[in-house]
Amino acid sequence: MVKTLYACSVCGYIYEKKEDAEKCEAYCRKHNACSLAITSLAVGNISK
């Protein structure tokens, strides 16, 4: 079974839950930076 993952299109962090990716994206857009509380939930990063 393939797991669907969701990436923040701003910072490139990958999340298992769509809502976490959306939270990250909203935060990144607003603050132009990532929230550590949110990125600690990330399972990976596509930019590296």
Q: Is the Cβ of residue 4 or residue 7 nearer to Zn ion in the bound state?
A: 7
CB count within 10 Å of CB 39 equals 17
Smallest distance, Zn ion to C-beta of residue 1, A: 26
* Interacting positions 1-48 with Zn ion (CB under 5 A): 8, 10-11, 24, 28
Residue 3 or 34 with smaller CB distance to Zn ion: 34
Q: Report the distance separating Cα 24 and Cα 21, nearest Å.
A: 5
Identify how many contiguous H helices and E strands the chain contains and give both numbers: 2, 3
Which residues in this chain contact Zn ion in the complex, by CB under 5 A? 8, 10-11, 24, 28
